[in-house]
Structure 1
């Protein structure tokens, strides 16, 4: 791949990650007005509808659902239903900054899943080092919630929900990557989000009742922004998964905990950085950066040898 082409793909990945990082602050605000599963369902139904005009035809998501039902179902299950069901419930129990940091373990989970499930994306020594650093960071953040106390236990379970969502989302990345560009990324994204949003609303019905739509304008602004994030970032990501290896692409997600935590500390009045959170974030990001730097050195060395 040419350098300009690779640069364009990397800039798209950075843009998608920065978009995702804004969802923590926005979601914390929206959760003040709507129950978690209902919020997730509304977000993805709206996100799926937003993308329909970009699919080439209004019937494209329906054709995608009919012809590729298994793929759409698996992607929807991993990327929308489970990931964002756990995301909104977990985020309702933890601080926005801690939630952003925990999602930062996603690149490490993706590297591990790629090693286990893809023959052409095996783990190297630097990836193992990254995972060790990331797990240390997760342990520090988790223990900082004091899970042995009643209040801390709830926050600890929230963090574990977010962590489980990141791992399951990594499997969803594998499902998309294995198709290697065989599916229209926007049509796939629209179909899986519409399906996932409807399922989340159905799951919410016996637990939370129907969505409460008598809300202030700020809620609908937050909902619209969350839907735009999903419609844009996931479409970009599905496109990139057909161009770049899962383990390499997901390394860019180290930007999410950095930006997401910083925005939470700046914009949420009851949040401020704590020493364990900062140390945990440093371990997670250091592990990923070590993988990137060592990878470049290995590449440079192989080039010189050749």
Structure 2
């Protein structure tokens, strides 16, 4: 992406948000065509084929020999939660839930992560962050409940919503494990190693749960599903992370992470455009509240 040096990182971060937003309709296509564990396995095997050479080229292999047992344990835990768990819930949830709605549920990620970080790491919160959290949670509840939030108290949530909430739990665990056990490891090495570990876990899980026929079915799933899978592996994983790392290096982690606020917005819009998904009033209202809440949280964190 060629651009003026001043605007280049910002444009790449917008591109990252578009790619991550588009991962939801791509995941929906894959979930309708492939067994979820087999599809997730193929995604991260392909991504690792890019990430591992990239890590080698960046000089990351030289540090592997010096990693402690605790660091390798942290990598294994991060791969089990942030790759294996998240990817399994991601594609399994998208078998039951429209991509746009699922993308809006993920706005709970920063809320739950901040709450756990405040509890475990004593990270400071302020009134702005608290207001953003409340707005994001209310918005996500409106989306989850189809505009009838009181029904959630009665357990009226489908399997798709519960599986996507599993994504939220896995991502929070992945983030907290990273802060606790992976301090000092660069983001590229973390992504490459955890993606490889996660791919191996997904392969084992697919063979155990879906059997060899699951992988065979995924391989023979057709052109459309494979285009979506290649996009997830190379576009939404390798390229999007490259642009994100570039943004972190140029602007700082706080400013770069603010662009993640745009991901659910692009997810909803692209899902409506590519898959013809309907955006109803609860999605529109709840989604606007959730996205605004995450933006307010990001602003509050920058002030803190």
> TM-score when scaled to structure 1?
0.80
| C-alpha distance in 2 between matches for 1:66 and 1:48 | 22
Match of 1:24 in 2: 24
After superposition, what is the alpha-carbon deviation per residue over 1:6-62, rounded to whole angstroms, capped at 9, x for unaligned?
977655544332211111111111223211111111111111111122112599569
User: Within 5 Å, which residues of 2 pair with 1:230-245?
Assistant: 230-234=237-241, 237=244, 244=252
SS at structure 1 position matched to 2:278: coil
Q: Which 5+ residue runs of structure 1 have no aligned equivalent?
A: 300-306
Of residues 182-191 and 259-268 in structure 1, the stretch that sits farther from structure 2 once superposed is 182-191
Taking structure 1 as reference, are residues 295 and 206 closer, same or farther at Cα in structure 2, changes over 3 Å only?
closer
- 2:270: which partner in 1? 263
C-alpha spacing 1:66/1:83, structure 2 compared with 1 (3 Å): farther
Q: Which of 221, 224, 228 is 1:218 aligned to?
A: 224
TM-score by length of 2: 0.80
Change (3 A) 1:161 1:241: farther
Alignment deviations for residues 199-246 of structure 1 (CA, whole Å, 9 cap, x no partner): 112112232223121232222222111101112334555777798567
Equivalence map 1:42-57=2 (5 Å): 42-56=42-56
1:71 to 74, 86, 100: 74
Work out whether residues 9 and 246 of structure 2, in 8 Å CA contact, stay in contact via their aligned partners in 1.
no
Secondary structure (helix, strand or coil) at the match of 1:183 reads: coil
Q: How many residues align?
A: 289
Q: How large is the Cα RMSD of the aligned pairs?
A: 3.5
Distance in 1 (alpha carbons) for counterparts of 2:73 and 2:268 = 36
Change (3 A) 1:5 1:292: farther
Structure 1 residues 65 and 284, CA, compared in 2 at 3 Å: closer, same or farther? farther
Could you list the runs of 5+ residues in structure 2 that have no partner in the other structure? none
Structure 1 residue 131 displacement after superposition: 1.3
Aligned counterpart, 1:304: none
Q: Is structure 2 residue 172 aligned with structure 1 residue 165? A: no
State whether structure 2 residue 112 is matched by structure 1 residue 112: no
